[in-house]
């Protein structure tokens, strides 16, 4: 079986995914967005997992922790942001979370990785004072946790917001950047006070972090004796990493691991030339079989509140450092997709309009841009996800396919539109492999044409040319 990006079902919206391997399965712990929501993370935590032997076989264990389980949120009005999970010294599993901007980190516990977690308490000091309630504390946000081989437990946190008004009700708290603190074996009590590891932009970050300073999304791993800290950089659409020989200091910048628009690859830093729509992202690393992967999320629906889980294979250099991965449609597949068969348009890894891309966290003309959306409400398993509003010059790109036998291409689209779909293996369309006339007054239609392309591994880019706005559902290589 093949696996695509996004790797979960088309109706599921899990951002901030932290992957962890327990036994012979990989478990993903993330926030839980709602399709069409007006704000982040409106749903309760669920857990998805897959056997390492088949990364296409994802199953959901249901809700593992709900908003109302925390005594600070009995009404359920606060939102569960990015979590992390670690196995403690006692063999149980500990879930760490923060409720949006309440200024505390909660802890829940369970006997198995994907069971129903029970509220345990909040991270606090030896005197019982909650982290985030003490004057001068760093703002508690996006916990990342490491239970080290020597038994010590490290908690990472931080938020370098560009919107100081968010912190107005927490005037005594700081947002200096990313911090680390040591916890006792009870997994909640601070025994080594927070230390600033990653100063935010404008707060004295080392020069090597320039334009990649810490913003949020703390995630920590120990790999071959090195501590690898993954975080969202100051541009807010990439995941970077830093490396150290110790868990609580001396981190050096390692580079970008993945960027939603493939920026920083080949020296491109111009957001207007991004290969996909930009917004926040968050994730972590996992070794699945012999390969390392970076997990992250993409944006949909022309806003940042309906995000979906993706992953890409990471390539390591001889010195053990990691290279930046491009965003692809294959992700956890481990290699190119079959060059024959039916593929949903929702697995496009590149999407842009005639005028380029936009950032979803800034104002833009929504009518001018294509976007991923679905035809039914949140959590409706019969929903179909598709690309909407492809106007003249809009491009959807898919990478990669091992094309050996395909000689024709059929697309499923709807309108209203009147024009043609041009297909190329090159993003600049220097050569065109197929041209498919399309015309629809609104209902779905199928249209096909000959495909002229050399055998081998190729990307496929679909460009609409014509009048109106095309909706793109799927294509078939035959």
Spatial separation of the C-alpha atoms in residues 154 and 36, rounded to whole Å:
36
426 tagged catalytic: no
Q: Are residues 213 and 281 in the same domain?
A: yes
Place of tokens 């917004």: 279
Which residues sit opposite 286 in a β-bridge?
A: 293
**Residue 233 in contact with residue 256, Cβ under 8 Å?**
yes
Q: Which of 12, 16, 142, 262 is catalytic?
A: 16
Structure tokens of 308? 């979906």
**Per-residue pLDDT reduced to its tens digit, 44-62:** 999 999 999 999 999 999 9
Read out DSSP for 379-411? T-TT--EEEEEE-TT-EEEEEEEEESS--EEEE
**Residue 441 in contact with residue 367, Cβ under 8 Å?**
no
* CATH number for position 364: 2.60.120.260
pLDDT at 163 exceeding the cut of 50: no
Nearest to 425 by CA among 401, 405, 450: 401
What's the average model confidence in pLDDT over 152-180?
Answer: 79
pLDDT at 428 exceeding the cut of 90: yes
Spatial separation of the C-alpha atoms in residues 78 and 254, rounded to whole Å:
35
What pLDDT score does 237 carry? 97
What's the average model confidence in pLDDT over 402-420?
Answer: 97
Spatial separation of the C-alpha atoms in residues 257 and 240, rounded to whole Å:
5
Which residues sit opposite 367 in a β-bridge?
A: none
Q: Which pairing describes strands 417-424 and 434-440: parallel, antiparallel, or unpaired? A: antiparallel
What's the average model confidence in pLDDT over 248-267?
Answer: 96
The CA-based angle 297-312-7, given to 5 degrees, is 60
What pLDDT score does 165 carry? 53
Q: What share of the chain is helix, strand, coil (3-state, %, to 5)?
A: 5, 45, 45
Is residue 166 very low, low, confident or very high in pLDDT (cuts 50, 70, 90)? low
Is residue 170 very low, low, confident or very high in pLDDT (cuts 50, 70, 90)? low
Spatial separation of the C-alpha atoms in residues 230 and 215, rounded to whole Å:
11
**Per-residue pLDDT reduced to its tens digit, 440-449:** 999 999 999 9
What pLDDT score does 449 carry? 97
Q: Are residues 168 and 299 in the same domain?
A: yes
What pLDDT score does 169 carry? 56
Mean confidence (pLDDT) of the chain? 96
In a domain, 12, yes or no: no
The set of residues, in sequence order, having a beta carbon less than 8 Å from that of 19 and lying 6+ positions away, is 26, 27, 28, 283, 284, 285, 286, 293, 295, 311
**Per-residue pLDDT reduced to its tens digit, 259-315:** 999 999 988 899 989 999 999 999 999 999 999 999 999 999 999 999 999 999 999
Q: How many separate domains does the chain show? A: 2
Which residues sit opposite 417 in a β-bridge?
A: 440, 468
Q: Are residues 120 and 38 in the same domain?
A: yes
Q: Are residues 260 and 125 in the same domain?
A: yes
Last residue of a domain, one of 273, 302, 335: 335
Place of tokens 């709602």: 34
Q: Are residues 318 and 350 in the same domain?
A: no
User: In what helix (H) or strand (E) does residue 55 lie, and over which residues does it extend?
Assistant: none
Q: Are residues 293 and 147 in the same domain?
A: yes
Q: Are residues 133 and 267 in the same domain?
A: yes
pLDDT at 83 exceeding the cut of 80: yes
Structure tokens of 93? 């599993």
Spatial separation of the C-alpha atoms in residues 45 and 66, rounded to whole Å:
6
* CATH number for position 314: 2.115.10.20
In a domain, 5, yes or no: no
What's the average model confidence in pLDDT over 209-220?
Answer: 97
Burial class (CB in 10 A: 0-12, 13-18, 19+), 245: exposed
Burial class (CB in 10 A: 0-12, 13-18, 19+), 149: exposed
**Which DSSP symbol is given to 177?**
E
Spatial separation of the C-alpha atoms in residues 422 and 43, rounded to whole Å:
39
Q: Are residues 347 and 327 in the same domain?
A: no
pLDDT at 162 exceeding the cut of 60: no
Domain span holding position 92? 18-335
pLDDT at 6 exceeding the cut of 90: yes
Q: Are residues 327 and 396 in the same domain?
A: no
216 tagged catalytic: yes
Q: Are residues 208 and 306 in the same domain?
A: yes
Last residue of a domain, one of 335, 352, 373: 335
Which residues sit opposite 403 in a β-bridge?
A: 456
Q: Which of 216, 238, 262, 422 is catalytic?
A: 216
Last residue of a domain, one of 285, 316, 335: 335
The pair phi, psi for residue 184, each rounded to 5°, is -70, 175
The CA–CA distances, whole Å, from 202 to 140, 225, 448 equal: 20, 31, 54
């Amino acid at each position: 079986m093949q696996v695509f990006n996004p790797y979960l079902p088309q109706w599921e919206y899990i951002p901030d995914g932290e992957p962890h391997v327990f036994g012979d399965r990989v478990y993903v712990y993330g926030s839980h967005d709602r399709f069409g929501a007006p704000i982040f993370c409106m749903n309760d935590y669920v857990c998805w997992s897959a056997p390492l032997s088949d990364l296409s076989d994802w199953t959901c264990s249901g809700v593992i922790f709900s908003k109302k389980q925390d005594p600070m949120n009995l009404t359920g009005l606060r939102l569960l942001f990015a979590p992390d999970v670690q196995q403690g010294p006692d063999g149980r599993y500990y879930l760490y979370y923060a409720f949006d901007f309440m200024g505390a980190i909660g802890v829940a516990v369970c006997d198995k990785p994907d069971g129903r977690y029970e509220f345990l308490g909040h991270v606090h000091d030896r005197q019982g004072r909650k982290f985030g309630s003490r004057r001068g504390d760093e703002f508690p946000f996006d916990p990342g946790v490491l239970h080290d081989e020597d038994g010590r437990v490290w908690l990472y946190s931080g938020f370098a917001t560009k919107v100081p008004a968010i912190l107005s009700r927490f005037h005594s708290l700081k947002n200096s950047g990313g911090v680390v603190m040591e916890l006792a074996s009870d997994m909640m009590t601070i025994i080594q006070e927070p230390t600033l590891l990653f100063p935010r932009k404008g707060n004295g970050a080392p020069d090597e972090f320039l334009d990649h300073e810490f913003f949020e999304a703390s995630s920590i791993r120990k790999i071959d004796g090195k501590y690898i800290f993954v975080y969202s950089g100051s541009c807010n659409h990439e995941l970077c990493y830093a490396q150290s020989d110790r868990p609580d200091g001396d981190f050096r910048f390692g580079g970008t691991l993945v960027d939603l628009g493939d920026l920083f690859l080949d020296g491109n830093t111009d957001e207007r030339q991004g290969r996909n729509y930009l917004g926040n992202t968050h994730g972590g690393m996992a070794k699945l079989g012999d390969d390392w992967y970076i997990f992250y999320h993409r944006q949909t629906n022309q806003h940042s509140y309906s995000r979906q889980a993706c992953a890409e294979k990471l390539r390591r250099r001889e010195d053990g450092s990691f290279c930046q991965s491009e965003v692809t449609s294959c992700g956890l597949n481990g290699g190119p997709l079959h060059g024959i068969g039916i593929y949903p348009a929702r697995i496009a890894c590149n999407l842009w309009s005639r005028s380029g891309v936009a950032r979803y966290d800034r104002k833009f003309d929504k009518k001018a841009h294509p976007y991923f959306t679905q035809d039914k409400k949140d959590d409706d398993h019969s929903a179909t996800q598709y690309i909407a509003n492809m106007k003249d010059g809009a491009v959807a790109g898919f990478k990669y396919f091992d094309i050996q036998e395909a000689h024709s291409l059929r697309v499923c689209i709807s309108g209203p539109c009147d024009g043609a779909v041009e297909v190329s293996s090159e993003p600049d369309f220097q050569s065109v492999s197929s041209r498919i006339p399309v015309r629809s007054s609104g209902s779905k239609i199928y249209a096909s044409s000959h495909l002229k392309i050399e055998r081998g591994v190729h990307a496929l880019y679909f460009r609409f040319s014509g009048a109106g706005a095309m909706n793109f559902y799927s294509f078939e290589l035959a």
